[in-house]
Amino acid sequence: MNTLGNNNKHTHLAKLAYSAGRVCLALAFALVITGGVAQAAPLAKTAPGLGSAANFAVLSAAPKPDGAVTLTDSTVNGDVGSSGPRASVVQTGSTITGEVIAPVPDQVLTDFNGAYDALELVPCDVKLTGTLAGITLAPGVYCFDAAAALTGVLTLKGPSNGIWIFKIGTSGTGALTGTNFSVVMAGGGQLCNVYWWVAQAATLTAANFQGTILAGAAITVTGGTFNGDALAKAAVTMTGAEVGGCGSGSVPPIQNNFGSIKVTGGGQIPVPDPNSMGRATFGFNAQPNKEGGAKGNFNYVNHLTGLHVNGLVNSIVVITVNPDGSPKTVLFSGTWKGGSFFVTVEDYDEPGRNDQFGIMVTTLTGDLTEVMSQRVISSGNIQFHK
């Protein structure tokens, strides 16, 4: 069993930030580095079947109390189910394209619990630590002993039949938290072959997530996209989220097919809220380099708080695309003397009046310093260059 990461958070963040798309930590025996991709050995070739539970994009399979699904300003492309005699699916300003089944048949609960228990027993290939930002992983079984707090971009690179299994809380307790966390498929990898087993709750905020979560407690999704199935042993709550059930095809899989993208821009945004009078200014350039990482510079000043971020870009990826396949949202990240930064930008052509910018800044210890939701810029322009 090997360890990916470093218990010293300062060193861990620095190494991750300067090895975008690569795993540059010392690994032996069970981990083989091939072309910048961490490859577990042996590779996971199969995953336990979900049975009838696979029919649901969202499922609250709570034995006690009864299951509850709450959707607010969200879209679910697929079936939604809840368990128990008093099962409930509450919708407010939301759309469900599939069926609403409450309560679900007992066989659904049996199949879900069987898959959950089977995944719990799957042996680990590699132990993980850290945020996974900037890491590329080949198919395999990857485990966190306890909780996992994930940010940045995780790339899963492998063939179309490759299977990734992530297990959080293998020591018995541990929750999954993803904030501004994006999962990107590459090399033909399929989101329906990605599984996240969680001992306790799963909470995603402003994430672009891919794969099927099987959670031992509640699932909460706020904002962002969720490509896959959200299956929980407790309540499922979604607010301002877009969910595409595994195989629905309604939410495009996030494939990094735009490696040559270059982005530049500058301007200002309102802070701390989109309707505030305070201002933050920014300027940047970011593009891939010949080594498979990225290069560029980023400068950001929050004139309300005095926060000044000036650093180097080391990762860039397209995280959402338009219906015609062109890049819609680009995420780039890097480091500065105070920690790390993660920026999302969107280009709505000239003259740039509708271009958007969002930012998250963390300290050297991984704590959040600033989070600004994506918002329309002013007095500036953002450009995507092919």
pLDDT single digits (tens) 213-256: 999 999 999 988 899 999 999 999 999 888 988 865 544 445 44
In this prediction, residue 36 has a pLDDT band, given cuts at 50, 70 and 90, of very low
Averaged pLDDT, 136-156:
90
* Angular region, 157: left φ>0, alpha ψ -120 to 50, beta rest: beta
d(CA 345, CA 359): 9
**Whole-number pLDDT of residue 20:** 27
The pLDDT value recorded for residue 296 is 96
Which of the given ranges, 128-142, 292-306, 347-361, has the highest pLDDT on average?
Answer: 292-306
Where do the structural domains in the chain lie, given as residue ranges?
Answer: 2-48+92-244, 262-385
Instruction: Please give the pLDDT value at position 282.
Output: 98
Secondary structure of the chain: what % helix, strand, coil (to 5)? 10, 50, 40
CA 45 to chain centre: 23
| Rg of the Cα atoms in the chain | 20
d(CA 359, CA 364): 16
Rounded to 5 degrees, φ, ψ at 55 are -75, -10
d(CA 212, CA 280) in angstroms, rounded, equals 37
Lookup: tokens for 356: 């958007």
- The residue ranking higher by pLDDT, 349 or 121, is 121
The predicted pLDDT at position 48 comes to 76
**Predicted structure pTM score:** 0.62
Question: Cα–Cα distances in Å, from 241 out to 94, 189, 220, 308?
Answer: 9, 24, 10, 31
For 80-94, what is the mean pLDDT?
92
* pLDDT at position 96: 93
Q: Over the chain, what is the mean pLDDT? A: 82
The token pair that represents 161 in the structure block = 């039949």
Tell me: the pLDDT tens digits for 290-308? 776 789 999 999 999 999 9
Residue 54 has pLDDT above 70, yes or no: yes
